[in-house]
Structure 1
């Protein structure tokens, strides 16, 4: 079972690119709204703020689901476990619930970093492990390289990008998907269809988009600094999109609008 589904009712609060007071305030608001899953990363440079804010919430540790990600600069054997220890110290935690590899290695040879990830799990640094931005072949290979199940592959997932191939790979490999860029960094709001559908349910365009992702079997990561948006992004469990509306939204995926590509991230793989 996807750890995000199990521990967070399918919704996680993302912290990128928040820093300082903005990060603290957003996390405190998210916790008050009801979020119990929080997503950070070494690359975000906000683990310390995230850890301090989570401690400030007073939420019992066993009800939290904390995810962080190892930066690919730390995939060397001499750095990996030390970097995870540093993350735990910054987060003020004895372990994280989910530890992800943030990207495939620059040479796309995944065995070394996966083996180190599994070592972190065996040492108790992480209750669960997963990956981000893996291709279909990488997902297949990962299931052969390590024995510990991967609880997620976190990828760009929104209604303006067709990810049917990745959904099929998730089913094939047993590695569930979770989303980032869930509202395509605001691009979805340029398309009236989402607000039009939302009007029929008494929901916003963003809520329709997030609900569509959930109904595709993908858990969601969302970020906002506005309290009303943080609350709205969490409030997506009390309605179900009809098959007709799901199909209408599905047609938007053929735009294949991808945000994260080699133009932005030179070390990105050739995505499926």
Structure 2
């Protein structure tokens, strides 16, 4: 059965305070979010699991995703740490388990064999990939027995990922967009002009652009009032002229640089 992802999820990267993380997950789920994204790297799986358990929602209706750390992608480590993730999350299985980055301990044959076995054993309902190039996606699809249920990458108007969005449409999986708000770091006159036109912030324009794209499922990280602000953005819409102007931006900006990340040192 194909993975049916809600149109927008909650990202939890950087939300490492246990109480804040737990409360944010509860608030988001009770507001209507039904897709929660975490990772071994985020060091918050315990709090995410506690939030899901505490929320007054039907657990069966929540898509829970986590990711195997790049340093844990050797066969035995991937199997062991995936089970440790389930223990921290307090669940018997997750809906979606990603290979977080194809680097460090990533070995296509061994890593993907581990992912297949975790899928066959019922510890994850679906297998996902994150931060892969088209060539690496092709290689992974050739090795995996399980279908690639989702591909997660940074995506926003200044990193629109045209090739990977086209790949997702061609192969029938969603492109899950992290940093869809650009972490409020994106600066461009067109973003500012569209924001002024609609009376919203530039990060919200970036999110609205993601929501307007076929096959793209944004997972903005948020706490506090921004959880509701992002959720209510689903009722807003950019017009064709706005989207054309945003699509015409030729400047590129990447927020996450794995070469300089602390976990890659």
After TM superposition, give the deviation of residue 174 of structure 1 in Å.
3.4
Give how far 1:192 is off: 4.9
Distance 1:215 1:109 in 2: 35
Determine which of 254, 257, 267 is the counterpart of 2:253: 257
Q: What is the aligned partner in structure 1 of residue 245 from structure 2?
A: 248
Q: Distance in 1 between matches of 2:21 and 2:242?
A: 35
Three-state SS of the structure 2 residue aligned to 1:144 is helix
Q: Distance in 2 between matches of 1:39 and 1:107?
A: 22
Contact 2:70-2:101 at 8 Å conserved across structures: yes
Which of 197, 218, 221 is the aligned partner of 1:220?
218
Task: Flag as ranges the 4+ runs of structure 1 deviating above 6 A.
Answer: none
Query: Aligned to 2:75, what secondary structure does the other structure show?
Result: coil
Cα deviation 1:66-102 (Å, max 9, x = unaligned): 0000112222222222211111111111110111111
1:210 aligned to which of 187, 190, 207: 207
- Which residue among 96, 99, 110 is the counterpart of 1:98? 96
Structure 2 residue 168 is the aligned partner of structure 1 residue 193 = no
> Which structure's relative contact order is higher, taking Cα pairs within 8 Å and 6+ residues apart?
1
- 1:7 touches 1:64 (CA, 8 Å); kept in 2? no
Is 1:51 aligned to residue 49 of structure 2? Answer: yes
| SS of alignment partner, residue 155 of structure 1 | strand
Which of residues 55, 62, 65 is equivalent to 1:64? 62
Compute the RMSD of aligned alpha carbons.
2.2
The 2-side partners of 1:108 and 1:24 are apart by 31
Structure 1 pair 108/81, CA: closer, same or farther in 2 (3 Å)? Answer: closer
Q: 1:224 to 1:107 in 2, by over 3 A?
A: closer
Structure 1 residue 251 displacement after superposition: 2.0
In structure 2, how many angstroms separate the alpha carbons of the residues matched to 1:61 and 1:7? 15
1:240 CA displacement: 3.0
Label 1:192 to 1:22 Cα distance change in 2 as closer, same or farther (>3 A). Answer: farther
Structure 1: give runs of 5+ residues left out of the alignment: none
| Aligned-partner Cα distance in 2 for 1:199–1:128 | 41
Distance 1:206 1:261, change over 3 A: closer
Matched, 1:177 2:191: no
Give the length in aligned residue pairs. 262
Unaligned runs of 5+ in 2: none
Residues 1:131 and 1:44: Cα distance change in structure 2 (over 3 Å): same
